[in-house]
């Protein structure tokens, strides 16, 4: 499908409650499925990616049920008490990279065989960096690629459980690069190991898994800024509140910053400090965003309202130490840079090339098609702000690129038509409706 974004002639205004956080929604379902008892999850994101993870967990033995609590939808998950069932068919994770990578860790210590598949995009994404530490713990895997080459281990991929019928072994694993998904997979496998498992990270990682494991009663401890240790043991059912997704809020923030005289309030947004590097980046660009924090209980995710106002943005050199803290927001950052008054330089972001698409190449090509000056580098790009022309661009099935370009179309000279934009539904099904409620003019075309 194609998404048409028509330039707007008036400010955007209003309040939006963004959908639940995708990363946290994946983790809530997986941990609840491993736990003993029934967990209640409020604010869960009901989107294609998270539904794929929920379906997989049900195939592994968990049970789910929806209910209504005073107008709030509650997802209840009855867990397996750490004893998952062997599914009768392959688990299709669709486009859910988070779902498949975390589940690989969750089933690694289970004495069952599980085959994971995905769509064409997910099947091209490397899985070796997940498989490597799990193999070091004694888990077995079978893939169609070369099992000794990280870059060629891809879906379909079969988890064979612990080799030799033994339990997983404890390891002290150092991540080659900071990765919340690899960290989470090793920690989940650590619940089923013979002794304590340690994970060392070279930089900032999202701590969603650490917070939620504590919420479910795991024996997990942070030794220092780089070292996490988890001891084997079971999880207990609990209540989880999923905050609004900061990465989804970023696109509405982008719209408010770019469209003249706009003022938009985003309510109930998760502002985990390991996730909000974008706020530091756009603050350096001159963005006017006010954070109004709310009170939250221990181990819960911090939540805030974000008041976003139109700003005259300046190009900057994005500090490399912030890159891992806002890796999902770089398509939006590149689009913001296109609407700025000078050049933004991005380096140290090679991870963008192995996301749902090669985000550096796809965004560079799309921006150039719209008349924006872009110079591409192996680990980033230079984007020079100026006039944005209309035209047709290709999102290559990447939801974040599609949304970034749709927002950029609001300040273009002519409409921007984005092809292959339907995967927006994987993370933000109400994106078009929410943006239009603020005064935008987006429309789907078949």
Catalytic residue positions?
A: 328
Say how many CA atoms lie within 13 Å of 328 toward its Cβ. 24
Parallel, antiparallel or unpaired: strands 114-117 and 91-92: parallel
The CA distance from 140 to 179, in Å, is 22
Check: CB of residue 344 under 8 Å from CB of residue 315. yes
| Size (the chain), residues | 446
Q: What are phi and psi of 189, to 5 degrees?
A: -65, -35
Bridge partner residues of 189 (DSSP): none
Say how many CA atoms lie within 13 Å of 183 toward its Cβ. 27
Check: CB of residue 81 under 8 Å from CB of residue 116. no
Check: CB of residue 208 under 8 Å from CB of residue 159. no
Q: What are phi and psi of 333, to 5 degrees?
A: -60, -40
State the DSSP string of 359-419.
HHHHHHHHHHHTT-EEEEETTEEEEE------EEEE-TT-HHHHHHHHHHGGGSSS-EEEE
The CA distance from 4 to 6, in Å, is 6
The alpha carbons of the chain give a radius of gyration, in whole angstroms, of: 21
Helix or strand (DSSP H, E) at 290: strand 288-293
How many degrees, rounded to 5, is the angle at CA 365 between CA 359 and CA 366? 85
- Using DSSP, how many helices (H) and how many strands (E) does the chain show? 12, 23
Check: CB of residue 274 under 8 Å from CB of residue 204. yes
Which 8-state DSSP code applies to residue 284?
H
Order of strands across the sheet with 139-143? 91-92, 114-117, 157-162, 139-143
Q: What is the number of other CB atoms lying within 10 angstroms of the CB of residue 417?
A: 20
């Amino acid at each position: 499908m194609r998404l048409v974004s028509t330039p707007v002639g008036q400010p955007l205004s209003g309040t939006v409650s963004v959908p639940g956080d995708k990363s946290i929604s994946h983790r809530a379902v997986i941990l609840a499925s491993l736990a003993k008892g029934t967990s209640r999850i409020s604010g869960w994101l009901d989107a294609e990616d998270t539904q794929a993870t929920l379906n997989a967990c049900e195939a592994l033995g968990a049970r789910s049920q929806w209910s209504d609590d005073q107008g709030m939808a509650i997802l209840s998950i009855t867990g397996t008490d750490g004893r998952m069932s062997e599914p009768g068919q392959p688990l299709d994770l669709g486009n859910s990279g988070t779902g498949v990578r975390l589940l690989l860790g969750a089933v690694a210590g289970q004495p069952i065989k599980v085959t994971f598949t995905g769509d064409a995009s997910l099947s091209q994404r490397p899985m070796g960096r997940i498989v490597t530490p799990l193999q070091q713990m004694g888990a077995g895997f079978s893939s169609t690629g070369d099992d000794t080459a990280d870059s060629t281990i891809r879906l379909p991929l079969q988890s064979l459980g612990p080799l030799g019928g033994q339990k997983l072994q404890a390891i002290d694993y150092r991540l080659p690069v900071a990765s919340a998904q690899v960290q989470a997979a090793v920690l989940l496998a650590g619940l089923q190991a013979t002794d304590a498992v340690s994970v060392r990270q070279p930089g900032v990682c999202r701590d969603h898994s650490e917070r939620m494991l504590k919420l479910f009663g795991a024996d997990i401890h942070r030794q220092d800024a780089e070292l996490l240790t988890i001891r084997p043991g079971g999880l207990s059912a609990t209540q989880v509140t999923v905050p609004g997704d900061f990465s989804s809020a970023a696109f509405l923030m982008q719209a408010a910053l770019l469209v003249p005289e706009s003022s938009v309030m985003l309510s109930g947004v998760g502002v985990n400090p390991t996730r909000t590097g974008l706020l530091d980046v756009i603050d350096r660009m001159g963005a006017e965003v006010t954070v109004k924090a709310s009170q939250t209980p221990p181990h819960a995710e911090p939540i805030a309202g974000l008041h976003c106002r139109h700003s005259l943005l300046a190009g900057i050199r994005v500090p490399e130490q912030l890159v891992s803290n806002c890796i999902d927001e770089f398509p939006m950052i590149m689009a913001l840079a296109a609407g700025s008054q000078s050049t933004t330089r991005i380096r140290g972001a090679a991870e963008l090339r192995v996301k749902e698409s090669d985000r550096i190449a796809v965004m560079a090509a799309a921006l150039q098609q719209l008349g924006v000056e872009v110079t591409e580098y192996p680990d980033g790009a230079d984007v020079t702000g100026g006039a944005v022309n209309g035209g047709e661009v290709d999102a290559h099935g990447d939801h974040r690129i599609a949304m970034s370009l749709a927002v950029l179309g609001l300040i273009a000279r002519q409409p921007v038509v984005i092809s292959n934009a339907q995967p927006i539904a994987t993370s933000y099904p109400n994106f078009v409706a929410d943006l239009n409620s603020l005064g935008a003019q987006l429309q789907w075309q078949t």
